[in-house]
Structure 1
Amino acid sequence: MWYVIQTMKGKEYKAAEEVRCDVAAEDEAVFVLENEMEYKVNGGWIKDTNPFFPGYIFADLNSDMVEDFDYRLRKEKHPLKLLRVDDIITPIRPEEEEYLKRLGGEEHIVRNSEGYRVDDMIEITSGSFKGWTGEIRKLDRHKRRATICVTMMGREVEVNIGLEIVKFISGDQLGGEDGFDRENMARIVKA
């Protein structure tokens, strides 16, 4: 089961490495769920990764050993803690874990996505969010990213994802019967 460890924003990689070295046993995976983004540098685009959930790292633990892991974590000099709900160490929900595993794959990297825009809808055709049909809170075509909401620990959390719009099609260009299935497209609620 995946448990969440809270840390300082900007220190996720360092914290994960310290927990791996100082706290985690061999069968306990500690990782940062990463987010692949594109950045424009000197006129060209480069890909880089950053934490998908800034300020949080994950530990894949056997539920029988979570109290022991928490004890080892608190015993070390790290100002880290496992997230709790009502003072009880709580894993993320199984459906959330499954969703995040699907997004990040075995490498725990949420890959950059591509798609095309039809008016206020987006068909995501490749990447981790291929086929995603949620709401896009903010779209920045020039920076190739979008802000969406993802559920973690039962709460909606805004995250930025890499999303390149490779083509824009207006409804005027299409005419009446365009053949697009708008039920299976993401909707832009704010551009």
Structure 2
Amino acid sequence: MATESFDKQWYVLHTYAGYENRVKSNLESRIETMGMTDYIFRVLVPEQEVEVEKDGETKIVKENDFPGYALVEMIMTDEAWYVVRNTPGVTGFLGSHGGGSKPVPLLPEEVDDMLARMNLVERKVEHLDVVVGDSVDVVSGSFAGQEGEITAIDDEHQEVTILINMFGRDTPTQISFNDIKPVK
């Protein structure tokens, strides 16, 4: 007998790569037509905005963080599981071991990190242990992967100003506390 959970939790779906948004659309449509709005709540494709330079112009585009995956917030009942599993483009759940086993939900901290990264929730940083002159890594946002030196700290707005090397020059840039970590 399959166990059912009556807690709303987040699960990761495997999809065909490049079909994540189509799966989202298909699933949202099926939720309505199959009367599952009380069991399946949100479908997200993990994306973030990044700056891309093309033909000398800088544009902001959405980039898929995890190609081939989508997130679904749902109550894991047999019916909801069936609807999601049989949505066109869905190849399975991450954490399901086949043979009718239900998938493992994401941990709350994983969900919080993912939603904050997508700017869907604001995460408040209690204290950032850095001082002017420290080096930090940018871990999310438009400058992810860059390293910079802190030139100013704004505790009220939870931002630091760091110097990031752009086009061969150090450029002052404001970055949220959430988007950096100290270099050890």
TM range (shorter): 0.5 to 0.7
Q: CA deviation at 1:41?
A: 1.6
2:116 corresponds to = 102
Task: Report if aligned partners of 1:70, 1:81 keep a CA contact under 8 Å in 2.
Answer: no
Q: Deviations over 1:103-161 (max 9, x none)?
A: 22328xxxxxxxxxx89x5354xxx848xxxxxxxxxxxx96539xxxxxxxxxxxxxx
Matched, 1:185 2:179: no
One-letter identity of the residue aligned with 1:103: R
1:8 to 16, 21, 37: 16
1:93 to 99, 102, 107: 107
CA distance, structure 2, for counterparts of residue 77 and residue 44 of structure 1:
37
CA distance, structure 1, for counterparts of residue 116 and residue 88 of structure 2:
34
CA distance, structure 2, for counterparts of residue 145 and residue 59 of structure 1:
26
Runs of 5+ consecutive residues of structure 2 not aligned to the other structure: 1-8, 122-132, 147-162, 171-180
How many residues of Structure 1 are paired with residues of Structure 2 in the alignment?
A: 130
2:173 corresponds to = none
1:37 corresponds to = 50
Task: Report if aligned partners of 1:32, 1:51 keep a CA contact under 8 Å in 2.
Answer: yes
CA distance, structure 2, for counterparts of residue 37 and residue 69 of structure 1:
34
- Max radius of gyration: which structure? 2
1:70 to 81, 85, 90: 81
CA distance, structure 2, for counterparts of residue 186 and residue 41 of structure 1:
31
Q: CA RMSD in A?
A: 3.5
Q: CA deviation at 1:3?
A: 0.5
CA distance, structure 2, for counterparts of residue 85 and residue 14 of structure 1:
22
Q: Deviations over 1:58-115 (max 9, x none)?
A: 001124x3x32221133444443222244431111122112212222328xxxxxxxx
TM-score between the two structures when normalised by the length of structure 2? 0.56
One-letter identity of the residue aligned with 2:81: D
One-letter identity of the residue aligned with 2:91: L
TM-score between the two structures when normalised by the length of structure 1? 0.54
Task: Report if aligned partners of 2:85, 2:93 keep a CA contact under 8 Å in 1.
Answer: no
One-letter identity of the residue aligned with 1:30: V
Runs of 5+ consecutive residues of structure 1 not aligned to the other structure: 108-117, 131-142, 148-163, 170-183
Matched, 1:19 2:30: no
CA distance, structure 2, for counterparts of residue 122 and residue 75 of structure 1:
45
Q: Percent identity?
A: 20
